[in-house]
Every structure is written in C-alpha cells, then in structure tokens.
Structure 1
C-alpha cells in the first residue's frame, strides 16, 4: 500500500511540474492536460490505441523488474526486443502453417530469441562478474547491427530496403474482433499476452521457491550462497527470463502494433521499461498500471500538440520528471513515514490515559 502511495505521489509531482512548465511557455496547463487525456481516452478507438501503445511497455517493464529482483540491472531490453521481433518476423515470413500454429511458433521464437540474447550478459555476470550494465548495452548495439544487415539481406521489403516485407495477416497478432470492437484501433492480441505474462511473473516471484531464491540473491548474494542456493544458476536464469520477456515485447511490437521491422531504430520501449519498472517499484501488477499510464501519456501527446501550441516533447519531460521522483522514492517514502508517525503520535496524545475515564 505504501509503495502505491509513493508511486502516486511521484506521478502527481511529475504532473504538477509539467503544469509549471506549461505556464512558463505561456500555455494553460488545465487545457493542456485536458487535451492530453482526451487524446488518449476520448473514444473507444483512442482507448484501444493507448492500450496497444502500453503493450510493449508491459513486457519491457516486467523484464527490468524481474532482473531487479535478483539484483541485476537489465538495460538490454531494447536489444532483446529487436532480436525477439526479428526471430518472430523470420518465422512469420518463412513458414506457412495454420494461424494458431504459426502464432505460437512466432511467440516461442521471440521468447527464445530474447532469452538467448540475455544469456550472454547473464553468463558473463555469473562466471566473470562482468557488470551487466556494460554487457547489456553492448548487446543492444550488436542486436542493432544484426537487424540492420539481416533484414535487407534476407527479408527485404518490396519497395524499401530499410524495412522487412509485410507480414501476412495470418502471421500478425492483429485480430478482426478487437479491431471492430475498438473501432479501427491497432490494439491486438499482444495485450492479452501481456496480462498473462504479468500473472505468471507475479506467481513466480510471490508463490514459488524459485521466486524466493531469486529475491534472496538480490538482497544478498553472499548470504544466499552461504545458505546453499545456487547463485550463479539463479543469475543466469533471471537474465534468461528477463530477456524472454523483452523478446515477447518485440513480438508484440513488430507483429502486433506493426507488421514489419524497420532498420536503424533501437526501440525506445526497451529503455522506457526501466521507467515503468521504477514507477511500479518492481511489482508485476504495478508494472501493468505504470505501462498503461505511460501509454496514456504517449498516446495523448499528439492530440495535445495538435490542439494547442504545447510541444510534444513536453510529454517526455513529464515522464522524465516522474522517473526522477520514482527513482528518489526513498525520500518520498521517508516523508510519508514521517507524516504517518506524526499522525499516530497525535492520536496517541489525544487518546485518554488508561484508568482515567469519566466517572
């Protein structure tokens, strides 16, 4: 409960700071936020687009949060997304199976691709204590150049060399019933996959022995090793699961929100997953709501910019401020604790002393 309060305070402070910035540029913050939320929630189509925008963030947020639980900082979600998306796209463009079989193969390929891409940093951390921040950043750029040369070499588009061929309808996560339900939105089956991932990761972390061991390693690696836990195995396994989740984010991004892969772009959703995880305090359920909130900000920015003179970069600034407050949540938590302590002390002082009731 207290972590939820801290996250809500971080969001409120970020929105207040964004409003102050709007005042500085001569804009009306109430009008700006009204258009921002209208752009994301004005009608059923915009709501669907907001959920679709949030879907890759659910996976990358889970990826970062799961690694955090083991004391690891996975900055490689962007590269793992690329490889997951590339593997899924390759399967979708190569095979011609029935749609259920093909989609399952694509999801599995994206999961394995992302997991294997995170395996190398996990192994380097476990065996040689190479810091995962350095190795995952390096793997991001290896993934970037792998996609840069693989797509034009093997899956070149019909008209452009900078993107792959379009996936056939049978090889995408788009579903006609969802498109009709949300009046033309690009919401897709990736959202349901994301909700399922949230439930599974929550169960693993909170209800299994594996989750307990992973958290123990994150709290104190040496104490966990002294207690007989296989620390190196858990580090590698944590990175594998984190990479697999980011790979699924790539599947949702490139075969759901889009139907082709473009080269020369390192997906920002990989880095935004860090912000989602921080705001959610690394809790799987919190990750879902934090991702939806960020999806709302991103979806509403264009409408706000179209209806006012407020630049679209302001949404990124608001997110950055929220991240700052979320990252310094220990200070907010101390303020909350102090407030609660003062409140409890006041109640104790106002309460009648034992044995001194009315006669």
Structure 2
C-alpha cells in the first residue's frame, strides 16, 4: 500500500521549475534575446565590411544619450512609432491584422493639414479641433477596412494595403492642389501657429525664455534646440487607456473575445460585426492621432509629396511585434526603435558605416522576435526533462523496496 501511494505521488507531484525555466518562459526574455542577437548580427556585418563594431556601437549610444538634445530628438522620433505600434497591437488583440497603420497615419496628417491650415481659432480650441480631425481621418480609413471585413468577409490585409496606396496618392493630390500647395515647393501650406503642440513654443524663444533657460544648460539644450512636443506624453496616456479598455472593461472583453473565437463570441450573443468595425475604428484613430501630432508638433508643420511611404506605420507594426502586442510594451519598444533610427545617423558620421546596418539590425531583431516560440520550446524541453528525472528519482526507492520484499 505504501509503495502504491508513493508511486501515485510520484506521478501527481509536479517538479519544481528551475530559475532558468522560469526566465525562459517570460515573454520579455525572448525579446531581450532577439535584441542581443540583432546587435550580434550587426557586429558581424560591421566587422566583415571593415568597420570597428565597438566604435560603431559606441557612436550609436553616444548619438542617443551623450547630449540632452539627442535624448529629446530620440523621444520625438519614437513618439509616432509608439502610437502606430499601439494601433497595431490593439488590432492584434482583437483578431485584426492592421497592416494599414501607414495609410491611417497619412490620413491623419492630411486631415490635420486640411483643418489646421483652414481654421485659425484660439489655441485652446484650434489644437483639439486639429487633433480630432486627424483622429477622424485615421478612424475613417480603419472603418472602411473593418466594415468590408465584417460585412463581406474581405480580408483586412488586402483592403489595408490598397488603402495605404490610396492615402499616399491622396496626400500628393492635396499637396499639389491649388488651394493647399505652397508655391515653389513640393509641400503644402503649413497649419496655422495656433495649431502647434510644441512645449512652450513661443516662450522658450522669447528674450525672457532664452535668458531663463540659458541658466540651465541641459534644459536649454533639451527644449530650445529641438521641436519637443506633447506627442510622447499623449502616447503614454493612450497606451494606458488602451490597456484599461482591453483588460478592465466590458468592451475590451468583447473585442478580445471576437478576436479569439469569432464563432463562439457570436454564439454568446456578442455583436461580432459591430465589434469588428469598432476595433478597426479605434486602431485607425490611434494611427491618425500619430499623424496629426507629427504635423502640429514638428517643423515644417505640413505634408510633402511622397515618393514612398515614411514607414511610421510599418515601423509601428515591428514595435507591436517586439512588444508582444502589449500597449504598455509599445512604449519601450518604440523608444528602442527611435534610438536606433536617430542614433544610427551618428554611426555613419563617426565611423563611415552605412545607416543600412541599422535597418539590418532592426530587421534581425524583428526576425528573431518572430522566432520567439523557439525560446518557449527550450523551456518546455527543460521542463519535460525535469519531470522525467523526478519520476525516475521517485520510482527508484519503490523498485528497491519491491526487490527487497
């Protein structure tokens, strides 16, 4: 009887996980491994091309952290990517593949210019109106994608790709239109100054502001020498709001349920079609917000003729992947992207290495993040081995006791 009980306990007892197994099972572990491998691949390529990897990476980090204005520019570069990343991550959580964040971003920028250059209200009214116009532009493009998916079953990837190009050509049409074209340029007229969302735009350039800030060199470098604006603050607030909607609201539960199992959600009485459209409206609005904040927050406050996409939406796709579709994680993944993109220019100036190395590094990081399942498999393999060893160790005394009897 004792032998039987011992054997039963051996089968039911779960072996304690090792520290390595617990670490490998964390999603963030795969991300850190992917980033490390991205740097390793870039180092090999730099060495093969005849450049010093250590000097190159030193230049990269100096180009991000060595001066306050570099940090400011990194944050400015990262802010729209964080927002488009949140847009893509939110769509992922609701079962939608928002490859159209680029077109939604362009739509937001175009609508912000149309409204911001036409109206000239007091700033307290102008800024919200222009921002809402950008959100509406992106949301409208997202709504088209969601409606076609919900009503006719047209895959969102096909629709979104077509709408990306549609918005690129619409952008160019607006730039070259008689009403909005700026003479002797390839740009549109800028939005009115009452639309600006820079931090202290007038005060920091006034005599009083300059005199005050010059007494604090780092703050002078951070504020005066860059177009620092409210986009990063807005991105953080949006990330928190989207996290709350997804995980602390009835709407978020329904949206995630539709994404997880459309048929089960419909059987449970959830409005599947409405939630599909709503998910893309929200995702599109976030990308449109990114476009509007770029127009209102950064010189020259206008749109230009596009020969190709600016990649804010496509980089947001990579940010969402690295963040594991976590809205909060998109903040840190976006800052990583912003640092690589902005600091990468320093690599070329310091050691002469082409900035394409940075693009290769980014691509490698995304590639290895996509292979994150390998890390999980390793953890599962270690867990299986531990279970087998535990069973053998538990069974050995029973076998000895049986032979003695």
**TM-score normalised by structure 2 residue count:** 0.82
Which residue of structure 1 aligns with residue 149 of structure 2?
125
Which residue of structure 1 aligns with residue 259 of structure 2?
218
Which residue of structure 1 aligns with residue 72 of structure 2?
48
Instruction: Pick the structure with greater CA Rg.
Output: 2
Q: Does structure 2 retain, via aligned residues, the 8 Å contact 1:52–1:191?
A: yes
Cα deviation code 1:163-219 (max 9, x no counterpart): 111333321221237976314122211111111111110100110111111111111
Structure 1: any 5+ residue segments left out of the alignment? 355-359
What SS class does the counterpart of residue 263 from structure 2 fall into? helix
| Matched residue count | 352
CA distance in 1, matches of 2:389, 2:348: 48
Higher mean alpha-carbon deviation, 100-109 vs 238-247, is at 100-109
Equivalences for residues 1-359 of structure 1 within 5 A: 2-153=26-177, 154-160=179-185, 162-176=186-200, 181=219, 182-183=222-223, 184-258=225-299, 259-264=301-306, 265-339=308-382
**TM-score normalised by structure 1 residue count:** 0.92
Structure 2: any 5+ residue segments left out of the alignment? 1-24, 205-212, 214-218, 398-405
Q: Does structure 2 retain, via aligned residues, the 8 Å contact 1:63–1:245?
A: yes
Shift of the alpha carbon at 1:267? 2.2
Shift of the alpha carbon at 1:345? 7.8
CA distance in 2, matches of 1:39, 1:337: 40
Shift of the alpha carbon at 1:326? 1.1
**Aligned alpha-carbon RMSD (Å):** 2.2
What SS class does the counterpart of residue 98 from structure 2 fall into? coil
Q: Quickly say closer, same or farther: Cα 1:99–1:24, change in 2 above 3 A.
A: same
Q: Quickly say closer, same or farther: Cα 1:42–1:209, change in 2 above 3 A.
A: same
Q: Quickly say closer, same or farther: Cα 1:118–1:9, change in 2 above 3 A.
A: same
Which residue of structure 2 aligns with residue 357 of structure 1?
none
Q: Does structure 1 retain, via aligned residues, the 8 Å contact 2:113–2:190?
A: no
